[in-house]
Structure 1
Amino acid sequence: MKIYTKTGDKGTSALFSGERRPKNDEVFEALGTTDELTSHLGLAREYCDEQNNGLSEKLEKIQCLLQDIGSNIATPRGHSNDARKARTTFDEDGGLVAELEKWIDDMDETLPPLKNFILPSGGRAASSLHIARSVCRRAERRVHPLIDKDDADSTTGKYLNRLSDFLFNAARYAAQKEGKEEVIYKKQKAGSNQ
């Protein structure tokens, strides 16, 4: 199979349902953002591997789950047959969201209490996880209009919401494991460097 198909040359792409839509359709905005997120997670995994902080396997699982979310998004619930919808249902029982919550709670037990806003910081692994977190928030914003129209499972939005919380804690955890300090937000005044 060739990597190029030429089917999108006229500005449309196909969904899993077979329907073709313009490339700037909100479905493709959501898909593109989840794809961007998984790319950032790939980079974060590399930094986590360098650090050997124990996050890499979790991030790989999340990348696979983002592919599943993409399948759900690419199969608009109101425009797809039952067989395709059944193949692309996401986290019907909420077990994947619960797993993220457990991971968050486990990290919380090792992290110092958060008393101030922190800036994305704490080393390469932590900073790359902060970038992934902010892209995850955008992915959630792109997916919710689809959920509101019943074109995507509501669990996709729940997972992305909890994932951004996980990525925040993972960034803090990575900084702690690397022995890097997190930069605390300080209100700035004109003419000062501090």
Structure 2
Amino acid sequence: MAVHEHSHRSPAPHQPSAAGPAARAGTRPGRTHALALLRLVTGFVFLWAFLDKTFGLGYATPSGRGWIDGGSPTKGFLGSVAAGPMRSTFHSWAGAAWVDVLFMLGMLGIGLALVAGVALRLTAVAGTVMMVLMWAAEWPPARTLADGTPSMSTNPFADYHVVYALVLVVLAACSAGDTLGLGRLWSGLPFVRRGPWLR
């Protein structure tokens, strides 16, 4: 009798395993939010550098020596390049108005794009070019620069410029602007749909 009753029971509903689709889908929001947080923090790094160099907030740029006070955001860094194959080029660029404008627009544009979550592909390209040039300005690594200040670069390959460039590439490849950002809205704009490199 017990066997007969058991044979007529409705089968138990299927329970997904811990590794099933539901479990995998449940971890996705965590990953996307982690990438969004990385995007926002990285964007703030660029925006803070722009603000500090523009207004001389007293951190990397002393008070009264900001861009709006007539200071140059590139003269000190590029003028202190002590070695490397592009030393003379960087010295000739140091303090040039066009270099200052391009550098500051780059910092502002990259920071705003990251915070908003838009144009991440273009941002990754522009940011990587900027980081490669800054990496080259500190290569080969030295303990001190020409003016005697300590060098931030002590690793000839994986210094912080390389890390930032890789972060930008990863954020663009993972569409990190779609979460906590305007990425989806931006991608739906007609001119962006016509030019996928703008996404």
State the structure with more CA Rg.
Answer: 2
Is this a same-fold pair by TM over 0.5? Answer: no
TM bracket (short chain): 0.3 to 0.5
Task: Give the TM-score normalised by the residue count of structure 1.
Answer: 0.34
Task: Give the TM-score normalised by the residue count of structure 2.
Answer: 0.34
**Relative contact order: is structure 1 or structure 2 higher (C-alpha 8 Å, sep ≥ 6)?**
1
Of Structure 1 and Structure 2, the greater strand share is in 1
